[in-house]
Amino acid sequence: MAIRDPSNGAWAVGHGASVPLGETAAIMGILNVTPDSFSDGGRYADVDAAATAALAMAAAGAAIVDIGGESTRPGATPVEPIEEQRRVLPVIEALAGRPGLVLSIDTYRAETARLAVAAGAHIVNDVFGAQKDPGIARVAAETGAGICLMHTGREREALPDVIEDQFLFLRESLRIAETAGIRREAIVLDPGFGFAKDGPQNMILMHRFGELKALGHPLLVGTSRKRFVRGATGRSDPEPDVATAATSVLLRERGADIFRVHNVSANRDALAIADAMRAAVKGQVW
């Protein structure tokens, strides 16, 4: 059976919106409204500051802004659902309805996801791939929200082969999504760079990334400023956005569609070069 090419068309998300995919890479800007995220914790705790940052990301080229109220860095202290909601809902409400701005809620909790979509979020981005709280899949199905199902090695025993473990985990996430009734075009997959994966595993995953296209869904990646990216430079004071942009280009060449990043401008420019080359190879005018 032929494998469906997931890189054509669009990601169907909530509130009647969609994110075009295919010839141009889509960028998801990271907006953490937390005090303890590893890169930008505490910078956007104020609603006005967070909204201003989101609009700046959109102006720089982000198609999506991903809003998170709980840090997912290793060792971070979990927050209560009510605190997560207190952080994210006012920001979503402040940004909801802006033309051309697609909002994502970074959560693994079904109730937070439901409230966020009601407040105006278009996408649910779950770092546990709907396997920690399967009710989140029902939220996406019932509201029509897009969903990103991420692979993780946390809270489970992973297979030694990084790609085999990707298929094992993500196929279970897809089964949950299908059972809940999520439409196929609303699903995007994320291999979860840095989530219970060491440096060599992340690099092997990047090298073999193209194998994940066999899952038949668009692919989102989040390497931005992560430890394995900074460590690979061999420098004590690396330029994390430059290193991140290098991974973005490598992953674009291997089939990634959506790039979750802190520095939108740097990655937009790097990906524009990759896309221009792809267009030239296909004989398009640019």
pLDDT at site 6: 47
What CA–CA distance (Å, rounded) separates 271 from 108? 29
Q: Among the options 138, 225, 226, 252, which is catalytic?
A: 226
Cβ atoms of 238 and 220 closer than 8 Å:
no
Give tens-digit pLDDT for 98-153. 999 999 999 999 999 999 999 999 999 999 999 999 999 999 999 999 999 999 99
Helix residue spans in 102-226 (DSSP H): 110-119, 135-143, 162-180, 199-207
Residue 285 has pLDDT above 60, yes or no: no
Q: Among the options 260, 268, 278, 282, which is catalytic?
A: 260
Return the biggest CA–CA distance within the chain.
53
Residue 176 has pLDDT above 60, yes or no: yes
Q: At what angle do helices 199-207 and 240-253 cross, to 10 degrees?
A: 40
Domains of the chain: 9-14+24-281 (3.20.20.20)
Annotation says 260 is catalytic: yes
Percent of the chain, pLDDT > 70?
93
pLDDT at site 34: 85
Rounded to whole angstroms, what are the CA distances from 107 to 100, 110, 118, 124, 236? Answer: 22, 8, 14, 7, 32
pLDDT at site 37: 46
Lowest mean per-residue pLDDT among 54-58, 76-80, 87-91: 76-80
Confidence at 77, pLDDT banded by 50, 70, 90:
confident
Residue 48 has pLDDT above 80, yes or no: yes
Give tens-digit pLDDT for 245-264. 999 999 999 999 999 999 99
pLDDT at site 40: 53
Residue 185 has pLDDT above 90, yes or no: yes
Q: State the pTM of this model.
A: 0.92
Residue 42 has pLDDT above 60, yes or no: no
Confidence at 158, pLDDT banded by 50, 70, 90:
very high
What CA–CA distance (Å, rounded) separates 58 from 204? 32
Q: How much is the average pLDDT of 225-246?
A: 93
Residue 210 has pLDDT above 60, yes or no: yes
What CA–CA distance (Å, rounded) separates 226 from 158? 20
Task: Identify the burial level of 3 via C-beta atoms within 10 angstroms of its C-beta, where 0-12 means exposed, 13-18 middle and 19 or more buried.
Answer: exposed
Closest C-alpha to 164, from 200, 126, 215: 215
Annotation says 98 is catalytic: no
Q: How much is the average pLDDT of 88-101?
A: 96
